[in-house]
Amino acid sequence: MAGSTFGKILRLTTFGESHGPGLGGVLDGCPAGLELSEADIQAELDLRKPGQGPTATKRKEADAVRLLSGVFEGRTTGTPIAFYIANEDQRSRDYGNLAEVFRPGHADWGYFQKYKGIRDYRGGGRSSGRETAARVAGGAIAKKILARRGARICAACVELGGIAVPEAEQDLEGALLRPYFAASDAAPALWDAAVAEARKAGDTLGGIVQIVARNIPAGLGEPVFDKLDAVLAHALMSVGAVKGVEVGDGFAAARRTGWQNNDPLLPGPDESIRSVRFASNHAGGILGGISSGQDIVLRAAVKPIASIALEQQTVNAQGRAATVLVGGRHDLAAIPRIVPVLSAMTALALADALLLQGRMAWDA
């Protein structure tokens, strides 16, 4: 209820602050018998590790994960899987001046109001983007569950600083090998210039991430309130900095007619119910809240990082006018590090829907 748990059958509970001892999570509900090692999780964590990539903070964290429970002789046992990542490179003194002012664009004001003045101001405390490491760790396990069914997630940056990758050039499959986890080979060079300019100006950039889930079986999601797209929107919007979510054609669909937007069903080669296909995928793989078997296509709008290197107008804890120059070490954009986070949230939501639907091949 206090918001640190996600999922119904596969439930991830996370904990930890940016400048506390560490952070971690407990994933309950993972079926027994899944092969799992610390290396499986570490591989995903390394994708969002601080200190790498063209927009990165200088904070260095090994983000080395340790499994504390739920795995025996290399396989999950069905009991909760706990993992822990110690914080290492904290320079909390960078934040001493933030105890008394509210940073614009940050959670400071909301937490101050919510918790009646009590907050861990060091690096944003619980509201720090560092919290997402636990999501990525949980998502790594969710991806292994999906993989048992042959499903997988691709994600890429399709726009940065207003410079979009044309749809025709998008290739999400190769994104993890490119700077910025870019959706095309050409994009990083274009974005480098925008990043250099922003860095010079002491400013930050936003962008758009696209996520595609492939080979998701039809029939996932629940009617009415827990439609698959509703749960996915919840999952993506729960990541700090996300301000918009689209499923399939999203806002563009609002500008088309029914004839243009409907995806006709086509018979497969053997004209059986198992081979049914669709002539298009405007819906993004979800119809009436239930997966159709097509690719699930999502887009998330990521706002520019709020921590800029410019003096900003604000108020202090007494409500008086103040200025703030945010110190600490910050990324210039949530992209690319947010890409594996959004991928992880998609995986968690889909693996949960899969388990809820009760279709796990090795459960039958």
User: Binding to a second copy (CB under 8 A): which residues in 299-338?
Assistant: 301-308, 310, 312-315, 317-321
- Torsion region of 106: left, alpha or beta (phi above 0 gives left; psi -120 to 50 gives alpha): beta
Position 141 contacts a second copy (CB under 8 A)? no
Candidates 39-47, 110-118, 140-148, 183-191: pick the segment binding a second copy (CB under 8 A).
110-118
| Interior/surface letters 118-154, b for 16+ CB within 10 angstroms, e for the rest | ebbbbbbbbbbbbbbbbbbbbbbbbbbbbebbebebb
Position 183 contacts a second copy (CB under 8 A)? no
Choice from 57, 65, 159, 347 touching a second copy (CB under 8 A)? 159
Report the candidate in 136, 144, 148 with the shortest Cα–Cα distance to residue 217. 148
The DSSP call for residue 304 is P
- Pattern 200-229, binding to a second copy, x per CB under 8 A? -x-xxxxxx--------xxxxxxxxxxx-x
> What are the Cα distances from residue 240, in Å, to 49, 221, 337?
17, 24, 12
Measured between alpha carbons, how far is 35 from 75 in angstroms, rounded to an integer? 4
Task: Report 270-299 residues binding a second copy (CB under 8 A).
Answer: 270-276, 279, 283-284, 286-293
Q: Which residues contact 251 (CB under 8 A, 6 or more apart)?
A: none
Residue 205 · residue 330 · CB < 8 Å: no
Candidates 39-47, 50-58, 182-190, 261-269: pick the segment binding a second copy (CB under 8 A).
261-269
Closest to a second copy by CB, 173 vs 324, is 324
CB of 234 to a second copy, least distance (A): 4
Q: How many CA atoms lie within 13 Å of 326's alpha carbon, on the beta-carbon side?
A: 26
Closest to a second copy by CB, 39 vs 254, is 254
Position 254 contacts a second copy (CB under 8 A)? yes
CB of 101 to a second copy, least distance (A): 9
Measured between alpha carbons, how far is 303 from 222 in angstroms, rounded to an integer? 30
Task: Report 49-68 residues binding a second copy (CB under 8 A).
Answer: 66-68
CB of 42 to a second copy, least distance (A): 16
Measured between alpha carbons, how far is 302 from 76 in angstroms, rounded to an integer? 35
What pairs with residue 85 in β-bridges? 23, 65
Candidates 46-54, 147-155, 173-181, 352-360: pick the segment binding a second copy (CB under 8 A).
352-360
Burial class (CB in 10 A: 0-12, 13-18, 19+), 6: buried
Measured between alpha carbons, how far is 239 from 324 in angstroms, rounded to an integer? 25
Query: Cα 129 vs. chain centroid, distance in angstroms?
Result: 11
Closest to a second copy by CB, 173 vs 323, is 323
Choice from 183, 195, 211, 245 touching a second copy (CB under 8 A)? 245
Task: Report 21-40 residues binding a second copy (CB under 8 A).
Answer: 21-24, 26, 28-29, 32-33
Closest to a second copy by CB, 16 vs 50, is 16
Closest to a second copy by CB, 173 vs 277, is 277
